[in-house]
Chain A
Amino acid sequence: DAGVIQSPRHEVTEMGQEVTLRCKPISGHNSLFWYRQTMMRGLELLIYFNNNVPIDDSGMPEDRFSAKMPNASFSTLKIQPSEPRDSAVYFCASSRRTDYEQYFGPGTRLTVT
C-alpha cells in the first residue's frame, strides 16, 4: 500500500509568488494533518481535517496560508503571497479513525528567495 504522497518534493520560488503544496493521504484514512518544520520552531501543526472538514486551523500563521481538502484523497496547502520566512519543510500526515497513528509523507522542502 502506498504511503502518504506529497508533491513537489522541492520547491524554490521568489518572494511574492503563490505556492501550492499537494498531499494524497493513505486510502481509508479519514484525518489529515499539515505540519511545518523549521530549525527555529521545530515541528508545528498548521491545520488538520477530519472527514475532509477543517477541525483546527489555529496553527495557520496568517491569512496568507490556506488549506483545502476537496475530497478524501487530496489536500492542498497554499501560500499567497510567499515570503522568505515561509521557507521550511512542510509535512502532510494522515491517520485512520481506529488507531490514530499518524503516517507522515516525505515532505516538501520550500525555499522562498
Chain B
Amino acid sequence: GDSVTQMEGPVTLSEEAFLTINCTYTATGYPSLFWYVQYPGEGLQLLLKATKADDKGSNKGFEATYRKETTSFHLEKGSVQVSDSAVYFCALRDGSARQLTFGSGTQLTVLP
C-alpha cells in the first residue's frame, strides 16, 4: 500500500538557518504530493503541492520538488523564521483517490 516516510524530529534551528525536511514515498500509481503545516492548537493547512514529476511546489519561501527517480519530496527553506515553528506533514494522494496518506510529521522549532 501507499506510505510516506518523513525524517524524524524534532528539528531545532536558529533563525535564518537553512531548513531541509526529508520525505520519501511509496505508491502504486502516480501520486500527487503535498506538504501540510500545523501551527500549535490549529488544524493542518496546505503549504504546497506538486502533481507530477519534476514539478516544484512553493509557498511562503518553502519549496519542494517532486523527484520520481528517488521517490522524494523534500521540503526546503533558505532562511527560517521563528514564526515557522510548527509541525510539518508530508502527504500523498494516489491517482483518483480522495484520501490522503500522511507521514508522521516533523516538529520544527526555530530559536531567535
Contact = CB atoms under 8 A, between A and B. Distances in A.
B49 A42 contact: no
Given A45-B99, A45-B100, A48-B98, A102 B105 contact: no
Given A4-B43, A91-B44, A102-B46, A43 B89 contact: yes
A56 B101 CA distance: 13
Nearest to A109: B41
Contacts, number: 41
Interface string B76-98: 00000000000001000100001
Interface residues of B, number: 17
* Consensus secondary structure, chain A interface: strand
Interface residues of A, number: 21
Interface of B: 32, 41-46, 49, 89, 93, 98-100, 102-105
A82 B3 CA distance: 30
A55 interface: yes
A101 B44 CA distance: 11
Interface of A: 4, 31, 33, 42-43, 45, 48, 50, 55-56, 91, 93, 95, 100-107
